[in-house]
Amino acid sequence: MRVFIAIQLSDEIKVSVTGKLHELKKSGARGSYVPTQNLHLTLAFIGEVKDASEIKTALQALKIKPFRLSLSDMGTSGDTLWVGIKGNQGLNNLAREVREVLDSAGISYDKGKFVPHITIIRKVAGNWKNGSAPKGEMMVKNISLMKSDQKDGKQVYSEIFSV
């Protein structure tokens, strides 16, 4: 199964981002839109695993200190359009701690630089640069181990563990 560790977004943030996606569609932005139920902020991408029990055990060592997460700007990385997150020491500490427990447990993950964002459109083309970024904020109190499945040709993300 394909897994990653993420912050699941509040309904308020999902509504705000979904509203922006509707605006973008009306203004001519094309691409593969991320469904509302799949919106999340990835802390660590792990990839294919046969069994997630070692990951669950490693994550139990975390003590999540609640913090506020706020949306900021929009931008692209290659052909992926994302919504950024305001600079946040709590978020940076959490991402570092997640990676430390994975390292300590010998769990392999994508060790690229942590750049907090919410992917909203893949293979974006057309007019996506008009208007402002969506607004929203939430308290982060836990994180989730998520799995990604293909159902009817679409990606479906579901939580398999939370800490």
Catalytic residue of the set 14, 20, 40, 99: 40
Q: Which CATH topology does 2-162 take? A: Cyclic Phosphodiesterase; Chain: A, (3.90.1140)
Question: Phi and psi dihedrals of 56, rounded to 5?
Answer: -60, -45
pLDDT at position 128 is 85
pLDDT at position 87 is 85
Residue 40 among the catalytic residues: yes
DSSP H or E stretch at residue 141:
none
Catalytic residue of the set 14, 20, 99, 117: 117
Q: Answer whether 66's CB lies under 8 Å from 94's CB.
A: no
pLDDT at position 129 is 82
Residue 58: CA count within 13 A, CB half-sphere:
20
**Alpha-carbon torsion (82, 132, 11, 94), positive or negative:** positive
Residue 22 among the catalytic residues: no
pLDDT at position 90 is 96
Q: What is the pLDDT along the chain (163 residues), one digit of tens a residue?
A: 999 999 999 999 999 999 999 999 999 999 999 999 999 999 999 999 999 999 999 999 999 999 999 999 999 999 999 999 998 999 999 999 999 999 999 999 999 999 999 999 999 999 888 778 999 999 999 999 999 998 888 889 999 999 9
pTM: 0.93
pLDDT at position 153 is 84
Tokens standing for 16? Answer: 């705000």
